[in-house]
Amino acid sequence: RFENNSRTMLQPLLLENDSNCKVSLYHTPALRGLLKKYTPNRWNELLGLQHMKLYIFDDTLIISGANLSNDYFTNRQDRYFVIKDKRLSDFYSGLVSRVQRFSLQMDRNNNVGMNEEWKHAPYEGNKTEFVEKAGDTIEQYLLEAKDEQNVHKQEGFDTWILPMVQMGQLGIEQDAQITDKLLSEAPNG
């Protein structure tokens, strides 16, 4: 890989904080076999991309459309939301932990491997099995989160935040479905 990449940039975090820091790298199931072997690194995203630009600190969540860089947090302040809400932070923390289950785990020596509890690699073996198992993991979490939300329903708020998950390669297309429904049912004009 290139000298400067996500792994080399994040490795110092693991070297200094490996007891309370975890680096997980999602690998698209579409990049495998000959495609994985011969596709230039810069083109990998063309085959599929899943990135959650989330930063969670206690009960505070930053949802960003940009990379974590000084330029975006000073000159492009339209690119992120800061939300202080325990339940929403917990939801996204849970979502990230589910995705970590089937993502590559990086160690302090910059080696990567699958989570020990996960039997299906995204880039080898049966692709359908990986997609179904990973998709089921996320779908199950979304159902649990929906049930949890129903228990804590509250009245009297003028603003709602509805997290939508889009992981098309795993068969999860909430965002596309809801956007399509909103646009098709919107009044003309």
What are 54-94's pLDDT values in tens digits? 889 999 999 887 665 666 666 666 677 899 999 999 999 99
Of 53, 90, 127, 175, which residue is the catalytic one?
53
Give the start-to-end residue ranges of the domains of the chain: 6-160
Of 37, 58, 146, 153, which residue is the catalytic one?
58
| 110 φψ region: left (φ > 0), alpha (ψ -120 to 50), beta (else) | left
d(CA 50, CA 169): 9
Q: In the annotation, is 152 catalytic?
A: no
| pLDDT (0 to 100) of residue 130 | 95
Evaluate whether 24 touches 6 at the Cβ level (below 8 Å): no
Confidence of residue 120 (pLDDT cuts 50, 70, 90): confident
| pLDDT (0 to 100) of residue 61 | 94
Q: In the annotation, is 53 catalytic?
A: yes
Q: In the annotation, is 51 catalytic?
A: yes
User: Which amino acid belongs to residue 116?
Assistant: E
Q: How far from the centroid of its chain's Cα atoms is residue 11's Cα?
A: 19
